[in-house]
Amino acid sequence: MAGAGIREYKRRIRSVKNTQQITKAMKMVSAAKLRRAQEAAEASRPYTETLQGTLARLAGVAYDVKHPLLEKREEVRKVGYVVITADRGLCGGYNSNLIRATVTAVEEDERNLETGIVAVGRKARDYYRKRGGLDAEFVNLGDKISYADAREIGQFIMNSYENEEVDEVYVVYAKFINVLRQVPTIVKLLPIETPTAEQTEGQHLIDYIYEPSAEEILLTLLPRYVGSLIYNAMLEGKASEHGARMTAMGNATDNAGEIIESLTLAMNKARQAAITDEILDIVGGAEALNKGGK
Amino acid sequence: MADNTFMLEIVTPEKILFKDEVEFMVAPAVDGEIGVMRNHAPLVAALKIGVLRYKDSKGSEKRVAVSGGFMEIIDNTGRILAETAELGEHIDVLRAKAARERAERRLAQRDETINAIRAEQALKRAIARIRAAGAE
């Protein structure tokens, strides 16, 4: 019956409209959170830049200093990956791109070594829990990245590095380019490769007083440097996550709009067909009456 | 810039806590406190957990609890890099005292299950916060 068809269209349009409202709201929430994540990344820059500058200078002065975190191991048996993903989905290919980048990096490493995963975010944990190889997990850290969390993660990997449970550590995160583009990036954390003096505009020529000594300051700086690298990767990851979610939800909202449009068109057609049918009925009936009256 | 002040920045990973001109500053370096005034020689110093003091351009003295880190001084700009830093006037004294008691209890137990180094650090941080807040 034609009337029931129209009702069915109406029901479906209503349902798609509801979905569209949800995706639209999620997009706006992500936009706000993206802005906050970018502000946090901006706020961390002075710390990171000063730390890197000082580290480079110190590395130039105290080049013969020995520290386990600086030492390159001759025999590498196990490689660690800190994989930073989101806790939640609905953000396009964000999580799967990161996991794929990790899997590819492991496969392409021709040394064929044992790997250990430190999962940051539920999505990485869920994947590696199923596949095996999970060494530690840091999940449900929320939308506001705190330095304390980054420090804890750094502490964990530095401990397992110093205990020779791993011999190299990388971090995998999504670098934020813009709302449409987030690039999975892999950076070496341990052993620490100190930034070279060329990267810091030759400031190392200044004659500093070091208190107590360049070597000792360098030693206190190294763990902080690892912490700040992880913190920055987490901040970038958070901005990327919200950027990806914004784009995904924007697309979903547009798609819902298209579906509503085509459903509305189909409904109108069905309604007109029903009206035409009714008119034909009436006209047909009247014709029959006229013929019978003659 | 007034001719007896220099720029002081207190920077943590999460934000710039303070950035203004100050007359002098005393920082808790590992080998004892270091006082800094205008025209100090270029210096890089490691800091311990403690209280940093400075006198701002209005002449009032402020205290900041810092959790170690280091400071760098160059061209009349002092930069403190600390993992955490809190202005004394913003510190919740009751919480800091509770943290101190907790750390003291842990240290008193002295068994295998607690990490003595961590407890000691927590105690030092709590004491620094209480002192920065001006209580005791």
pLDDT digits (tens, 9 = 90+) for B12-69: 999 999 999 999 999 999 989 999 999 999 999 999 999 999 998 888 899 999 998 9
Taking the Cβ of residue B117 and every Cβ of chain A, the question of whether any pair is shorter than 8 Å is answered with no
Residues of B in contact with A224 (CB under 8 A): 69, 81, 83
Give the pLDDT band (50/70/90) at residue A68: confident
| Mean pLDDT in residue range B81-106 | 89
Supply the mean pLDDT for chain A.
90
Chain B: nearest CA to A137, how far in angstroms?
21
Does residue A85 carry a pLDDT above 70? yes
Query: Residue A249 has which token pair?
Result: 């939800």
B 58-97 residues with CB < 8 A to A: 68-70, 72, 74, 79, 81, 83-84
DSSP codes joined into one string, B72-118: EEETTEEEEE-S-EEEGGG--HHHHHHHHHHHHHHHHH--TTS-HHH
Does residue B82 carry a pLDDT above 80? yes
Give the pLDDT band (50/70/90) at residue B114: low
Residues of B in contact with A210 (CB under 8 A): 43-45
In our burial notation (b when 16+ CB lie closer than 10 A, e otherwise), range A61-77 reads: bbeebeeebbeeeeeee
- Give the residue from chain A lying closest to B19, CA to CA: A46
Does residue A200 carry a pLDDT above 70? no
**pLDDT at A199 (0 to 100):** 52
Supply the mean pLDDT for chain B.
88
Taking the CA atoms of chain A, what radius of gyration do you get in angstroms? Answer: 30
DSSP 8-state secondary structure symbol assigned to residue A200? G
- Give the residue from chain B lying closest to A218, CA to CA: B46
What percentage of chain A carries pLDDT values higher than 90? 70
Higher pLDDT, B92 or A118: A118
Of residues A150, A206, A211, nearest to B29 (C-beta):
A211
Of residues B11, B31, B41, nearest to A47 (C-beta):
B11
Kindly list the structural domains of chain A, giving each domain's residue range(s) and its CATH number in brackets, ordered by start: 2-19+249-293 (1.10.287), 28-244 (3.40.1380.10)
Span(s) in chain B for CATH 1.20.5.440: 92-132
**pLDDT at A293 (0 to 100):** 58
Taking the Cβ of residue B26 and every Cβ of chain A, the question of whether any pair is shorter than 8 Å is answered with no
**pLDDT at B112 (0 to 100):** 64
CATH annotation of B92-132: 1.20.5.440
Q: Suggest the residue from B8, B9, B12, B14 to mutate for an interface test with chain A (most A CBs closer than 10 A).
A: B14
Task: Report pTM.
Answer: 0.86
Q: Is residue A176 within a helix (H) or strand (E), and if so which, with residue range? A: strand A168-178
Query: Residue A28 has which token pair?
Result: 């706006």
Residues of A in contact with B43 (CB under 8 A): 208-211
Distance CA B123, CA B18 (A): 25
Higher pLDDT, B2 or A84: A84
Task: Yes or no: say if B93 and B132 are a contact pair by the CB < 8 Å rule.
Answer: no
CA distances from A127 to A29, A95, A106, A109, A234 (A): 27, 10, 15, 20, 19
CB pair distance less than 8 Å for B14 and A224: no
CB pair distance less than 8 Å for A231 and B72: no
| Mean pLDDT in residue range A191-219 | 73
CB pair distance less than 8 Å for A209 and B69: no
Chain A: nearest CA to B77, how far in angstroms?
12
Asked if the B6-88 domain carries CATH number 2.60.15.10, the reply is: yes
Query: Comparing C-alpha atoms, which of A172, A191, A163, A180 is closest to residue A245?
Result: A180
Give the pLDDT band (50/70/90) at residue A98: very high
Span(s) in chain B for CATH 2.60.15.10: 6-88
Residues of A in contact with B30 (CB under 8 A): 211-212, 216
Give the pLDDT band (50/70/90) at residue A6: confident
| Mean pLDDT in residue range A72-83 | 92
CA angle A243, A228, B46 (to 5 degrees): 155
Taking the Cβ of residue B136 and every Cβ of chain A, the question of whether any pair is shorter than 8 Å is answered with no
**pLDDT at B47 (0 to 100):** 93
Q: What is the pLDDT of residues A119-133, one digit of tens each?
A: 999 999 999 999 988
Candidate from A65-69, A143-147, A194-198, A263-267 with smallest mean pLDDT: A194-198
Residues of B in contact with A40 (CB under 8 A): 14
Of residues B31, B34, B42, nearest to A206 (C-beta):
B42
Distance CA A249, CA A28 (A): 9
Give the pLDDT band (50/70/90) at residue A1: very low
**pLDDT at B121 (0 to 100):** 86
Residues paired with B87 in a beta bridge: B64
CB pair distance less than 8 Å for A228 and B46: no
**Catalytically active residues of A, by annotation:** 91
Q: What is the pLDDT of residues A225-262, one digit of tens each?
A: 999 999 999 999 999 999 999 999 999 999 999 999 99
- Give the residue from chain B lying closest to A45, CA to CA: B13
CB pair distance less than 8 Å for B46 and A212: yes
Q: What is the pLDDT of residues A124-172, one digit of tens each?
A: 999 999 998 899 999 999 899 999 999 999 999 999 999 999 999 999 9
Task: Yes or no: say if A212 and A142 are a contact pair by the CB < 8 Å rule.
Answer: no
Of residues A207, A210, A228, nearest to B13 (C-beta):
A228
- Identify the three-state secondary structure at position A135: strand
Query: Comparing C-alpha atoms, which of B54, B107, B104, B51 is closest to residue B78?
Result: B54
